[in-house]
Amino acid sequence: MTQATPFLLLSKARTLSMKDIYTMGEDGAYDLFCKMGWPETEGKPVCPKCGSLDSYHITTRRKFKCKDCAHQYSVTSGTIFASRKLPFVDMLACIATVVNGAKGISALQLARDTNHQHKSMFVLCHKIREAMASEIAGATLSGTVEVDGCYVGGHIRPANLASERVDRRLAKHQTGKRRVVVIARERKGRTLTTVTKSEADGVAFVKAVVAADAEVHADEASHWDALHAKFKTMRINHQVAYSLNGACTNQAESFLARLRKMVEGQHHHVSPQHLHAYASHAAWAEDHRREDNGQLCHRALGLAMAHPVSRTWKGYWQRSS
Ligand SMILES: [Zn+2]
């Protein structure tokens, strides 16, 4: 086996720097992947096909051959990082960078930092996001839940003269790339998001993910009226106040403001079909904002190593080219 990994050092670290990761090196990073990929054996290989613990180690290629079923595998086989080409240390650096960036990190920036192709970084970042999103797959919210929505993307630069500005809510003035991110956020709990074409479409989402006995807080927008039939619903009219008689959607709104900054400031061109990935990345970051970046990196790596091969991102560029 390779040298001992500074595993505890990493999990206890208050801050995880690029220097820490590159000091750990390829062997150290590989060891960490093994520990996260095979947590039940503390990093000893387990055949993904038959579960056997007996294997031959093909040292040079970091592969294993099962003594029981002859299956050849590596630590990333069957995970979202399957058929990886990047060094482990660079993948770890990417995960750390993605979890570190409070406003997100662009694949272009990452490509420059790691000296890998933009295409590889784009897909790797999305695989990490898909793994993050899996943490709350199927989750429901209860207690007090704030809901809200905001338009993202499809930006039309406002005309200089006020008289020439158009009403961007009208269909004829939209680019077709504009989407709504709808959020349902449990106070002291998790944040769930979805992407729809209009905020009114968010009603069905809220009904699906929020428990019937929850208290839902929404703003004055009329489409939320439909929530009253299912939930005890509190409304806040923002033309009157941000918080009144206990009704408040500030947490939902602050999340959406951050998301808009992340998408428009860091990523610039987010296509409508990928917007949900950025929204769930931002929700994940929001829900774990009190964890230090060593913990976040561990959490993301653990999720990725437990996540199956991605249907969306496996061979993405081969299919799209
Ligand atoms: Zn086997």
* Reported confidence tier of residue 2, pLDDT bands at 50, 70, 90: very low
User: Cα of 25 to ligand 1 centre, how many Å?
Assistant: 30
User: Cα of 70 to ligand 1 centre, how many Å?
Assistant: 6
Read off the tokens for 50: 């038959």
The answer to whether residue 39 scores a pLDDT higher than 70 is: yes
β-pairing verdict for 191-196 and 215-219:
unpaired
β-pairing verdict for 144-152 and 179-186:
antiparallel
> How far, in Å, CA of 63 to CA of 82, rounded?
12
Supply the pLDDT for residue 244. Answer: 75
> How far, in Å, CA of 39 to CA of 17, rounded?
24
DSSP 275: H
The answer to whether residue 1 scores a pLDDT higher than 50 is: no
**Owner of token pair 């990093």:** 43
Helix (H) or strand (E) holding 125: helix 118-134
User: Cα of 294 to ligand 1 centre, how many Å?
Assistant: 33
User: Cα of 53 to ligand 1 centre, how many Å?
Assistant: 8
User: Cα of 15 to ligand 1 centre, how many Å?
Assistant: 39
Read off the tokens for 59: 């040292």
User: Cα of 65 to ligand 1 centre, how many Å?
Assistant: 8
User: Cα of 67 to ligand 1 centre, how many Å?
Assistant: 7
> How far, in Å, CA of 39 to CA of 308, rounded?
16
Contact residues for 178 (Cβ-Cβ < 8 A; gap 6+): 151, 152, 153, 154
The answer to whether residue 49 scores a pLDDT higher than 50 is: yes
User: Cα of 230 to ligand 1 centre, how many Å?
Assistant: 51
Summary mean pLDDT of the chain: 85
Supply the pLDDT for residue 251. Answer: 87
User: Cα of 192 to ligand 1 centre, how many Å?
Assistant: 38
* Reported confidence tier of residue 150, pLDDT bands at 50, 70, 90: confident
Q: Which residues pair with 185 in a beta bridge?
A: 146, 191
The model's pTM is: 0.84
User: Cα of 42 to ligand 1 centre, how many Å?
Assistant: 18
User: Cα of 235 to ligand 1 centre, how many Å?
Assistant: 58
User: Cα of 124 to ligand 1 centre, how many Å?
Assistant: 28
User: Cα of 7 to ligand 1 centre, how many Å?
Assistant: 27
User: Cα of 319 to ligand 1 centre, how many Å?
Assistant: 31
User: Cα of 44 to ligand 1 centre, how many Å?
Assistant: 14
Residue type, 268: H
Q: What is the mean pLDDT of residues 23-40?
A: 93
**Backbone phi, then psi, for 121, in 5-degree steps?**
-70, -40
